[in-house]
Amino acid sequence: MILLVDIGNTSTKLALYNLRNNKIIKPISLITHSKKTLSFIKFYLKKNNIRLIFSTSVVPKIFKIIKSFTSKQNIKLYEFKDKKITKSIKINVKKKSQVGSDRIVNSVGALSCYNKNCIIIDFGTTTTFDIVQKNNIYQGGVIAPGIELALKALNRFTAKLPLVKITKQKNVIGKDTIAAIKSGVFIGYTCLIDGIIDKIQKQSKKKYLIILTGGYSKLFKKSLKYKTIVNQDITLYGLVKTIKQNREIFDEF
């Protein structure tokens, strides 16, 4: 059994993967920056007798702690960004090292699931757009502030604006401060997403399958003008695809 680990800025996802029957088992989401999370991961490794972890991480500090623990427990740990492993996709950007491994593994997952030109929109700490073509070329992306980041910034950097929880909005014009904030964020991000997709398709002269993942995917799905697919496990599918392409490394597990 292999443990898949996706360490994001806000949340961390764990899932067991059985290479023999190609099954992903029991995905679990945890808060990344929590002492309980690290304790749970240690417990989870022992409980399931895990001897190998395959991880993608954008939080070096947390990954380093896990790496230290696993080395003491004789647990093998592979990271997605290892050049020996990530052979399936060409990264067509100026500085490859600056692209988060989560964004590349999402692209691998999208191609594995759908085999089409894709735009993957990930609602995380940042809202990212990643563009990948079905001929296995990652073309780059777009990074915008995440929704929670925007809401917290409005509260933190103003004297009177409250911290609100985003909900779906029909009316653009808010009749009070809370409604105005909700409109600005929900409708504002709806326009941002639609507008960026418009620009990508116009400039690239291609049509794309739109995949939503991350915390606010379902909230936005029916409000966008484009038909979309919600896939909350796209990162895990990317890790699985990479495992299959490197069976010589993972087969014994």
- Per-residue confidence (pLDDT) for residue 248, from 0 to 100: 77
- Per-residue confidence (pLDDT) for residue 1, from 0 to 100: 87
| Whether the predicted pLDDT of 209 surpasses 70 | yes
Largest Cα–Cα distance of the chain, in whole Å? 62
Query: What are the C-alpha distances in Å from 97 to residues 65, 101, 125, 232?
Result: 22, 9, 20, 25
- Per-residue confidence (pLDDT) for residue 83, from 0 to 100: 62
- Total residue length of the chain: 253
Q: What's the rounded Cα separation, in Å, for the pair 197 and 191?
A: 10
Name the one residue in this structure whose structure tokens are 């592979």: 78
**What does the pLDDT look like over 143-188, one tens digit per residue?**
999 999 999 999 999 999 999 999 999 999 999 999 999 999 999 9
SS3 at position 145: strand
In this structure, the strands spanning 23-31 and 76-79 are unpaired
Q: What rounded mean pLDDT belongs to the chain?
A: 93
Residue 65 burial (10 A CB sphere; 0-12, 13-18, 19+): middle
Segment holding 52, helix H or strand E: strand 52-57
Q: What's the rounded Cα separation, in Å, for the pair 201 and 196?
A: 9
Domains annotated on the chain, with CATH: 2-79 (3.30.420.40), 90-236 (3.30.420.40)
Number of H helices, E strands in the chain: 8, 11
Q: Active-site residue 102, yes or no?
A: yes
Q: Which residues contact 52 (CB under 8 A, 6 or more apart)?
A: 2, 3, 75, 76, 77, 78, 250, 253
Q: Catalytic: which of 6, 82, 102, 130?
A: 102
What is this structure's pTM? 0.92
- Per-residue confidence (pLDDT) for residue 85, from 0 to 100: 66
Q: What's the rounded Cα separation, in Å, for the pair 110 and 133?
A: 10
